[in-house]
Amino acid sequence: MFHKTISLQGLNDYTFATIFFDQENDTVSVDITKTKPHYHFPGMYARIRIKDKDNNELLNEVITGTNQSLSKNDFPLSSCYVIDIFHKEPGRVKLTPAYKGVIDNKSSYNEFIITPYGLQNIKLNNDPKVFLLENIKSAAETLRSHPIMWHANFSEAKDNIYLAIDIFPSPQKEGLLEQYADCISSYYEKPNEDLGNAFSFIFKGINDREFLTTKLNLVTKKLEVKIVSGTPHSGFNRTYAVLRYFNADGNELLNLDIIGSKKQAGQEWVFPISGYGGEKLYLQHVEPKNRLVITNIMQGIRLSSRTSIQTYEIESLGLSRCT
């Protein structure tokens, strides 16, 4: 999945040049391996060009049919953006692993954008994500057909499946991790949602306006609380939200009881965190489903609890939910 090769073939379908894409090691390697690709074409038989995102030319290799110098060039994959290939016999341009719709074998000229998911042919406008998903599916099917490798806790095949899935954005990535959970090495198991070094606690009111925010950073060892000036929710003339903070010794350092219809003055507090754990946060919101949003910033996920009252103990490696 992380290795793709475009091969240029000549007389008798012998390969005379390869372009090897190694996403795992972030390299593109261009190898010219034959001095006489095809004696019927004494002039230019093929050409390989690579450009970066600023359209600067990194490589322009013209390959003659009868008098070609051997060469090998390596480039950081991350610096390459466009690659175009010319071949006088386009039917002899091959992709490994093979997949339809990536190379136009009827055209002597193919131009590709290099994406994190693979190659996108500018003319054919293929979707490299589809290609990668098919590769993941195929790799999983192959793995499952080999019981010893499949039941092993760790294997290169399982690592490759995970690394391919990890390229996709959320929530698609989480769906794929669940779908192929049996094909992933055990050390890639999803961490607990409470594990992290930074969290945010956002209280929202009418029109989803934020009226109270809390940020916890276990690296800087700070808890920052901010009331945003304004009326949280005019439809609630009673307690709409509560935030209480207790230090590691159990002393209450902050107690905010916010009336929905009462205009709040802007205020800010910063509390030091011990780093060893033991502090507690008590949260309450009348409308918790979409208006009490607790986010694990390190993992980029919202915590799953949607209850109106939630209490968390701060630990050295994240949070723990208090029942």
Q: What is the pLDDT of residues 93-111, one digit of tens each?
A: 999 988 899 999 999 999 9
Residue type, 38: H
The end-to-end CA distance of the chain, in Å, is: 44
Assess whether pLDDT exceeds 70 at residue 10: yes
**DSSP SS3 for 206:** helix
DSSP letter assigned to residue 316: T
Assess whether pLDDT exceeds 80 at residue 258: yes
| Mean pLDDT, range 202-207, rounded to an integer | 97
Q: Residues with Cβ < 8 Å from 293, sequence gap 6 or more?
A: 200, 201, 202, 204, 302
Assess whether pLDDT exceeds 80 at residue 2: no
Q: Residues with Cβ < 8 Å from 175, sequence gap 6 or more?
A: none
Assess whether pLDDT exceeds 80 at residue 91: yes
Q: DSSP letters of 151-166?
A: HSS--HHHHHHHHHHT
43 burial type by CB count under 10 A (0-12 exposed, 13-18 middle, 19+ buried): exposed
- 153 pLDDT band, cuts 50/70/90, is confident
Assess whether pLDDT exceeds 90 at residue 39: yes
CA distance 85 to 6: 10
Structure token pair of residue 29: 């390697």
Going from the C-alpha of 39 to that of each of 11, 31, 64, 91, 97, the distances in angstroms are 8, 20, 9, 17, 29
Identify the pLDDT of residue 174.
87
CA distance 7 to 78: 21
Q: Residues with Cβ < 8 Å from 144, sequence gap 6 or more?
A: 150, 182, 183
Q: 48 vs 156, which has greater pLDDT? A: 48
> What is the chain's mean pLDDT, rounded?
94
Smallest CA-to-CA distance from 78 within 60, 95, 58 is with 58
- 170 pLDDT band, cuts 50/70/90, is confident
Name the residue with tokens 């490798």: 149
18 φ, ψ (degrees, to nearest 5): -135, 145
Q: Is the dihedral of CA 30, 35, 38, 40 positive or negative?
A: positive
With a pLDDT cut of 90, the percent of the chain lying above it is: 80
| Mean pLDDT, range 21-27, rounded to an integer | 85
CA 4 to chain CA centroid, Å, is: 20
Q: What is the pLDDT of residues 263-279, one digit of tens each?
A: 999 999 999 999 899 99
Confirm if 67 and 41 have CB atoms less than 8 A apart.
Answer: no
CA distance 62 to 58: 13
Confirm if 232 and 240 have CB atoms less than 8 A apart.
Answer: yes
114 φ, ψ (degrees, to nearest 5): -90, 115
Residue type, 138: S
Name the residue with tokens 């935030």: 243
CA 153 to chain CA centroid, Å, is: 24
207 C-beta neighbours (distance < 10 Å), count:
6
Q: Where are the domains positioned within the chain?
A: 4-126, 129-180, 198-322
Smallest CA-to-CA distance from 293 within 205, 224, 217, 222 is with 205
Assess whether pLDDT exceeds 70 at residue 1: no
